[in-house]
Structure 1
């Protein structure tokens, strides 16, 4: 069942596994609700894929702003404690494995072929990134390892942050219909 259209709120987190389309959804919601979209990967990845020392300071700075939407990532690095108390809504893209796997393969392959610059001069590692023996560099292994992250953590997060409204979508079509509905409010 499709959640009711939601009036715009000022601070939104987009949750989901790698490849679910968090960034694309965040951009679209930012446009619909006139929110600032902060791409959290751009704050985390420095040149040569090194983590930026100012990451948590940068997250704290934008979280203090009044209107934003961002991807809910890097929870093991402390972002939840910064973002969740300020956010009002979580849109959880909880799509089937076949959907997120095919999206991740298409995205990674496309970025590699086009040599798309991502953040701070970094480019997709391409096939190396998809089949690397190191599970921390292998994007497909990462997705598999973190596939259940949100379904395992969301109940505790809901208890810890009871003010957060969570809207969960099980398929991209439902998320797209909801986004279309809230875009006209």
Structure 2
């Protein structure tokens, strides 16, 4: 495990888990949302996003832990990924975690990512682009997509680790700590 992608639906805790895993394995964490989002919730072109991601991955030759799905980047990530860790938690757990995180971010008004000025807002939370709508729409799609990936021959060179609860994720991190 040297080039890892942590995947899961919105609210699963990908970023937090990826940072902990990177720390345990002494690898560099790469937060894809930080590379993607521009100021004022603007989205970059695929070309700009891919360039940022490729540069970050190429400069981190000793290994990294990517957190994020961004399916459109799969061909770029597959060049190096040797392990995918899927945080496959229940919908209710993800929804609760997302609600708690969003409320904290709304009240604290902290910047969500280092490289943009984005903050949580009530307007955005209750808009058609709401992260909650995204979760409702993407949860079943992501689950089906990741299950298919695990069975697909073109991904058989990748080690898939499927963690189905925060307790299982914590135990996995503890095992990594012991092994390293």
TM-score, length-scaled by structure 1: 0.87
Classify the secondary structure of the residue corresponding to 1:184.
helix
Distance in 2 separating the partners of 1:86 and 1:157: 16
The counterpart of 2:125, out of the listed 114, 125, 130, is 130
User: Is 2:38 aligned against 1:46?
Assistant: yes
Unaligned runs of 5+ in 1: 1-8
Q: Go from structure 1 to structure 2 and tell me whether the alpha carbon gap of 1:152 and 1:104 turns closer, same or farther (over 3 Å shift).
A: same
User: Is 2:172 aligned against 1:178?
Assistant: yes
Q: Which residue of 1 aligns with 2:78?
A: 84
Deviation at 1:96, TM superposition (A): 0.7
Q: Which residue of 2 aligns with 1:22?
A: 14
Classify the secondary structure of the residue corresponding to 2:43.
coil
Classify the secondary structure of the residue corresponding to 2:66.
strand
CA contact (8 A) 2:33 2:68 kept: no
User: Is 2:129 aligned against 1:141?
Assistant: no
Q: Deviations over 1:117-171 (max 9, x none)?
A: 013111112x333322x1xx11111100000233211244332221111111111
The counterpart of 1:74, out of the listed 66, 70, 76, is 70
Deviation at 1:85, TM superposition (A): 3.0
Distance in 2 separating the partners of 1:164 and 1:73: 15
Distance in 2 separating the partners of 1:41 and 1:157: 22
Distance in 1 separating the partners of 2:6 and 2:65: 7
Q: Runs in 1 of length 4+ with deviation above 4 angstroms?
A: none
User: Is 2:142 aligned against 1:150?
Assistant: yes
CA contact (8 A) 1:38 1:68 kept: yes
Distance in 2 separating the partners of 1:92 and 1:73: 10
Q: Which residue of 2 aligns with 1:165?
A: 159
Q: Compare the two structures and name the one with the higher helix fraction.
A: 2
Number of matched pairs: 171
TM-score, length-scaled by structure 2: 0.89
Deviation at 1:90, TM superposition (A): 0.7
Distance in 1 separating the partners of 2:34 and 2:54: 14
